[in-house]
Amino acid sequence: MGLVWRRRWWRFLVGGLNRPLIFLALFAWNLKYAAGGVQYLHFLLPGLVVMAAVTASYTDLVNWFTLRRTFYRVLDEYLLAPVSTASLLAGHVLAGGGKGLVVALVVYFGGWAVAGDFSFPLLFAVQLAVVCLLFASLAVVVAMIAGGDRDVLMFTNLVVFPMTFFCGTFFPVERLPGALAKLSWFLPLTAGTYNLRALALTGVGRWDWFGQSLGWLAGFYILAYLLLNWRRQD
């Protein structure tokens, strides 16, 4: 994956930046204030960082695994190689998560250069890395279950993409109607988004939000390992 990055770095960087930059332009130019009188650009930027992290970490990796399992049918060759399941999974999750982290940091520092007044504590980078690894692990889970690229597209459109809107990225979840405001906290992205925003705006995060993100990461990673190991034994 490192060799692929070295040769095609501009592709995933441009592909991962176009959507966040479009949203940044549209929302920041047309909406000035968010909840509590906070300048909307300051509220929006951490959400765009999360969106960039999810897109870059999840999309390429889920397509990579799905195509090689269902279309090219070369995943079996990877599984038959003298490489452990744990090593194979760790390598690809780190590659997908690392890609998402790079793209998200570029978005964050680009927004910082425009708006300023943001913090960058160490926990911000760690929390962002956890979000990236979480969705890279989810990508492997989906690829192991999906019957093909259409199933992946359906899951992405019905679950992953809406999640980037209902987890506090563009507006506070408290503004969601009724039970949706509470249900959103059971989604894997909400705690990470809120913690990243708190760290960016105040420099202080919450460990319970960080712990919730770690729990989701551990759950998806273990599930990805079990499914990948099941494919190997099958």
Q: Stretch 44-49: mean pLDDT, rounded?
A: 88
Q: How many CA atoms lie within 13 A of 100 on its CB side?
A: 34
The 10s digit of each residue's pLDDT in 147-199 is 888 888 889 888 898 888 889 888 888 888 878 888 899 999 999 999 999 99
pLDDT at 12: 63
Rounded-to-integer distance, Cα 95 and Cα 78, Å = 16
Joined tokens for residue 28: 């920041």
Largest CA distance in the chain: 58
Q: DSSP secondary-structure letter at 188? A: T
Q: Which of 136, 76, 64, 138 is nearest to 100 (CA)?
A: 136
Residue 60 identity: D
Q: Which of 137, 135, 128 is nearest to 102 (CA)?
A: 128
The 10s digit of each residue's pLDDT in 80-124 is 888 899 999 999 999 999 999 998 998 898 878 777 778 999 999
- pLDDT at 132 exceeding the cut of 80: yes
Counting residues of the chain whose pLDDT is more than 70, the rounded percentage is 85
Contacts with 220 (C-beta within 8 Å, 6 or more apart), sequence order: 134, 137, 138, 141, 188
The 10s digit of each residue's pLDDT in 3-34 is 766 776 666 666 566 667 666 666 655 555 44
Query: What b/e sequence results for 8-23 when a residue is b if at least 16 CB atoms lie within 10 Å of its CB, and e otherwise?
Result: eeeebbeebbeebeeb
Give the domain ranges of the chain. Answer: 2-233
- pLDDT at 201 exceeding the cut of 70: yes
